């Protein structure tokens, strides 16, 4: 097959599974090494560069990096990346003097609608460039869904306030209690560009008999919001939560803290089809929430204006050979008594404030068509990001949307083509320190993933503001950082130096190297020393080797970056080089060009 083009920044970026899997491409191995060296402030800043809210995300990120982590494929649990992020945030010094101040005003005014994570990221990226940013927020506090939908026992308000302050206090014109009711009016106010980050604020309703006969049937995200703003501080003893996503998990655990005694989460499908993250489900079950499966809601039972319970069809599903649900049949009808019902079955975008004749086309979900690279819409100068762009995702996606939109806004305000995107770059730097010494910890740590410590069950329900997770202690941190495989320390091969002694192949603990006759990719994958059946991971293929004309093939799938191939190489054909992805931001484009295989 064609030899690998390792000068394409994507080639080595893909090897760093966590960073590749992260929407914002946070350089995880780099900040884990900084934590390992006790340099928490640098680790925090490294995080902040890409994800802007390390303290928040270190607690409540959806963690796409963790299922991507290579250790998960080595028959064990991924590195506790998210927990380590929190360590950096908890122990970082004040970084205020390390952030770029607001630049000298360039006379351009930007409006952001909604003070959630997407708008705040836009402000963060554009402030140093001298833009005047105005953020309009309907509530009396900024934060958007981070504040209204994530209960404070998971994300303390102080953590959120601190990280929002780091942006706002540098000169954002934050207008609280200011709801934008008309896009037309906003357009008329003469802003140079408008960013819409209004989230997906409408919780889905369940239109069943009895729905409108009681005021004890709540929409999940609205209910969480009223709890967050302390408009509500109690709930009945028996609570049913309908739906089994992460919002349902937040609802059930909040209900337990407001007086719920018997709280059940009711799912329509079996366990494998739950939308909630495994760890959120685990935390809810630890608090004794009942999870009921295969219950399809049928009606609300209300007698004399009082909610008595709900009826459900108990379902039986057949699962076919592909693991899909193939058929469903109703087995029986079940009545579950309750005092309150919370509906947590999803959210929709809602744009009641955008006039339909303003010049935007709306798609079948009644949302504007948004370009997924530029985040622009039909109206020039208007950009959408976060959940308001493509429906509910998560915080880290919203942050990435903010970065992309900020680039677009900067280009738009400078009269440049917004679709001409700045390129990424990649630096490679040898880690060789001595004959068998590297500037990273290359030994494999075979300990298991450290478990999060929690506040005792007897303590945690006393107040909804008691944060349940205690964070990692120093011992846990010291061990967990060593579990990281340093996937960013790349094995870089120079074919012209290779004498085909086989030493690298022979020493590799995971058999990822093979010297063999060239062939096409499918054929090569069959001929490697160990099965190479994960096609999501690339093969690193060299040019023809000098002595036999064979090729060196590396299956990047399970390499543990121990560096033994490079240690056993007599000619230095293999080298361990630290890769650093250069990501362009609005306030910082990539100038360095690739430094590559010499």
Residue 280's H or E segment, with its range, is: helix 278-286
Q: Does 564 bind other proteins (CB under 8 A)?
A: yes
Contact 251, 235 (CB under 8 A): no
**336 near other proteins (CB under 8 A):** no
166 vs 53, 121, 163, CA distance in Å?
10, 11, 5
According to the binding rule CB under 8 A, does residue 568 interact with other proteins?
Answer: yes
Taking the least distance from each CB to other proteins, the nearer of 11 and 568 is 568
> Binding to other proteins by residue 451, rule CB under 8 A?
no
Binders of other proteins among residues 69 to 98 (CB under 8 A) are 73-75
- No. of H helices and E strands in the chain? 21, 23
In 52-156, where does DSSP find H-type helix?
A: 54-60, 65-68, 81-91, 117-126, 145-148
* Position 523 contacts other proteins (CB under 8 A): no
The number of residues that bind other proteins (CB under 8 A) is 35
Taking the complex as a whole, how short is the minimal distance between the CB of residue 10 and other proteins, in angstroms? Answer: 25
Any contact of residue 489 with other proteins (CB under 8 A)? no
For residues 401-420, which are near other proteins according to CB under 8 A? none
Please identify which residue in 10, 502, 536, 592 interacts with other proteins, judged by CB under 8 A: 502
SS3 at position 113: strand
Report d(CA 486, CA 30) in Å as an integer: 8
Taking the least distance from each CB to other proteins, the nearer of 208 and 530 is 530
DSSP state of 585: B
Q: Say whether residue 24 binds other proteins (CB under 8 A).
A: no
Which residue from 530, 584, 594, 597 is in contact with other proteins, where contact means CB under 8 A?
A: 530
The span from the first CA to the last CA of the chain, in angstroms, equals 22
Question: Using CB under 8 A, which of 207, 230, 446, 456 touches other proteins?
Answer: 446
136 near 112, Cβ under 8 Å?
yes
Instruction: Assess 318 for contact with other proteins (CB under 8 A).
Output: no
- Determine which residue in the list 65, 399, 560, 590 makes contact with other proteins, applying CB under 8 A: 560
Candidates 235, 492, 512, 590; binder of other proteins (CB under 8 A) is 512
Strand partners, 175: 136
Residue 539 contacts other proteins per CB under 8 A: no
CA separation (Å) from 175 to 138, 140, 577? 8, 9, 48
Spatial neighbors of 108 by CB under 8 A, at least 6 apart, are 130, 131, 132, 192, 193, 413
Is 536 among the residues that bind other proteins (CB under 8 A)? no
Q: Which is nearer to other proteins, 271 or 496 (CB)?
A: 496
Whole-angstrom distance, CA of residue 346 vs CA of residue 343: 9
| CB 64, CB 22: distance < 8 Å | yes
Question: Which of 208, 292, 507, 595 touches other proteins by CB under 8 A?
Answer: 507
Per CB under 8 A, residues contacting other proteins are 73-75, 436-437, 442-444, 446, 499-503, 505-507, 509-512, 530-531, 533, 547-548, 558, 560, 562, 564, 567-571
């Amino acid at each position: 097959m064609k030899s690998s083009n390792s000068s394409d920044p994507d080639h080595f970026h893909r090897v760093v599974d966590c960073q590749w899997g992260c929407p914002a491409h946070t350089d995880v191995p780099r900040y884990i090494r900084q934590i390992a060296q006790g340099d928490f402030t640098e680790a925090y800043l490294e995080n902040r560069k890409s994800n802007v809210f390390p303290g928040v995300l270190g607690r409540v990120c959806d963690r796409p990096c963790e299922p991507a982590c290579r250790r998960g494929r080595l028959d064990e649990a991924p590195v506790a990346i998210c927990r380590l992020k929190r360590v950096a945030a908890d122990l970082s010094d004040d970084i205020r003097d390390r952030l770029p101040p607001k630049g000298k005003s360039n006379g351009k005014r930007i409006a952001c609608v909604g003070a959630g994570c997407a708008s705040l990221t836009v402000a963060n990226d554009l402030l140093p460039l001298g833009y005047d940013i105005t953020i309009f927020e309907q509530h009396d506090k900024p934060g958007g869904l981070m504040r209204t939908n994530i209960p404070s026992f998971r994300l303390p308000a102080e953590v959120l306030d601190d990280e929002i302050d780091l942006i706002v206090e540098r000169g954002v014109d934050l207008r609280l209690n200011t709801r934008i009711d008309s896009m037309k009016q906003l357009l008329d106010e003469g802003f140079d560009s408008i960013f819409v980050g209004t989230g997906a604020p409408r919780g889905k309703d369940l239109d069943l008999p009895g729905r409108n006969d009681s005021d004890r049937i709540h929409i999940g995200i609205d209910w969480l919001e009223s709890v967050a703003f302390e408009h509500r501080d109690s709930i009945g003893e028996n609570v049913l939560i309908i739906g089994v996503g992460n919002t349902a998990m937040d609802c059930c655990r909040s209900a337990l803290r407001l007086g719920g005694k018997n709280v059940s989460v009711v799912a329509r499908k079996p366990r494998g089809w739950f939308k909630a993250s495994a760890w959120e489900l685990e935390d809810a079950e630890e608090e004794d929430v009942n999870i009921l499966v295969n219950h399809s809601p049928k009606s609300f039972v209300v007698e004399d204006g009082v909610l008595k319970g709900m009826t459900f069809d108990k379902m039986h599903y057949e699962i076919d050979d592909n693991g899909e649900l193939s058929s469903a049949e109703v087995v029986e009808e079940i009545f579950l008594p309750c005092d309150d019902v919370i509906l947590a079955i999803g959210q929709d975008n809602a744009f009641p404030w955008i006039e339909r004749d303003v010049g935007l086309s709306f798609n079948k979900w009644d949302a504007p068509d948004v370009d997924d690279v530029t985040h622009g819409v039909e109206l020039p100068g208007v950009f959408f990001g976060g959940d308001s762009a493509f429906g509910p995702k998560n915080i880290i996606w919203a942050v990435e949307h903010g970065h992309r939109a900020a680039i677009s806004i900067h280009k738009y305000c400078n009269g440049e083509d917004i679709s001409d995107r700045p390129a990424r770059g990649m630096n490679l730097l040898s880690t060789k320190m001595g004959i068998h010494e590297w500037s990273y910890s290359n030994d494999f740590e075979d300990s298991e993933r450290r478990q999060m410590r929690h506040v005792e069950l007897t303590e945690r329900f006393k107040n909804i503001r008691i944060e349940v997770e205690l964070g990692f202690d120093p011992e846990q941190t010291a061990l967990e950082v060593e579990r990281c495989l340093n996937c960013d320390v790349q094995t870089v091969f120079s074919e012209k130096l290779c004498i085909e002694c086989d030493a690298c192949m022979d020493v590799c603990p995971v058999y990822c190297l093979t010297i063999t006759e060239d062939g096409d990719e499918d054929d090569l994958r069959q001929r490697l020393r160990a099965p190479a059946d994960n096609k999501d991971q690339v093969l690193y293929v060299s040019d023809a080797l000098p002595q036999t004309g064979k090729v060196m093939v590396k299956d990047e799938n399970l390499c543990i970056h121990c560096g033994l191939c490079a240690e056993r190489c007599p000619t230095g054909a293999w080298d361990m080089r630290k890769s650093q992805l250069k990501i362009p931001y609005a306030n910082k484009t990539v100038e360095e060009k690739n430094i590559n295989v010499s």
